Structure 1
Amino acid sequence: KNKWIDNVVRIISYIGIITPSFVFAIFFVLIFGYALQILPTIGRIPPGVSLPPRITGMITLDALVTGNFALCLSGLKYLLLPAVSLAMGPLSQEARITRTTLAGNLGKDYVAAERSSGLSERTIMFKYLLKPSLIPTISIYALDFAAIIGNAFVVELIFNWPGLSRYGMNAMLQKDLNAMVAVVMVYGILFMVVNIIVDLTVGFLDPRIRLGEQSAE
């Protein structure tokens, strides 16, 4: 707490929280695509490259399954900037919440007892502090997933990425009811699965939830 790494994380998390995903997308395109020219910014694979045999519909995964590792690596390069653009906001919020929870738990009695028993700060941090501090962070994963879905359309438009959000927006503009219903159903199922995973993970990390369920039974 109050060390240089803590201050750096706080500043980066503040910037990530207040900056929209499409601003990160434009910034990454200008820096990595045009200024440095080290990462691709448009599409999913290099022009003129044949698609791998369709198995899952995801080019990177299909290339990996079929043994085309060069295309898989190339697909990951095309995926990197859109993924990071969408993840910056949620990751910044989660880093902020984790940092706040860790700082609050540092003053707990059990931390003082562990220090008095001679445990190192590293052991206390990673073995006893990090696990309970992650519970509030994991609890907001479902909300972050919804935020990513909402921001995906603009990011996909900037990177010319034919994703599901862009498909759903085009279906809405074209008044394609069947496509709109399909997109809503897919996102609804994904959101439900994410919520279930979050609940199971929180129950695993927090024994009070498991003990509460057992006492209720």
Structure 2
Amino acid sequence: MIDHYLTIQKDGVAEIEIKKSRFICSLKRVETEDEAKLFIQRVKKEHWKATHNCSAFVVGDKSEIKRSSDDGEPSGTAGIPMLEVLVKKDLINVAAVVTRYFGGTKLGAGGLIRAYSHAVSHGIDEIGIVEGKLQQEVSLTIAYPLLGKLQNYLENNQLAIKETLFTDEVVVVCSIDEESVAAFEASITELLSGQVQFFYGQKTYNEILLA
């Protein structure tokens, strides 16, 4: 498992107009090449009257699979510029389709490259990018008198509490970035003078929207 990744926040659609041509960018989170291809076909079916439905996608934890299509636009003016936007932003597991409804004015090769690139960039800006971090669930079992001290420490260090369970003792459940687990355990042990037990749950990705 990778320790972090960047991708779009959610699926979405955004549109720009350039010299009366409409450029509609449809973006989707995908996990496989087949899923990306199905998405592209669905958009093409939806916009079957469009002049072009150009596409690009990046799939895999390390961007192992990259594909693009100009869908009838001059070679290299649509799909590759779209793909370059995804790659430059370090996004993974994203498929993009830019649908063009021709407005009557030719844009030329340079104009097309700028238009398709801008359509994807604009779509990503509208939807937003999230960073997913691999986190370890850590449960801390402590005595009741130590709860306030622990809560203050977690709050001051901007560490979120997922859950707090009250039984004969208190169990505080946190999610900690995987690379920080050892340092976290050492700090808590020192803070509470060793009066704490650690239990480790599952590892999950926590996504945070980037500003």
Larger helix share, 1 or 2: 1
Coarse TM-score class (shorter-chain normalised): under 0.3
Q: Which has the larger radius of gyration?
A: 2
TM-score for the superposition, normalised by structure 2: 0.26
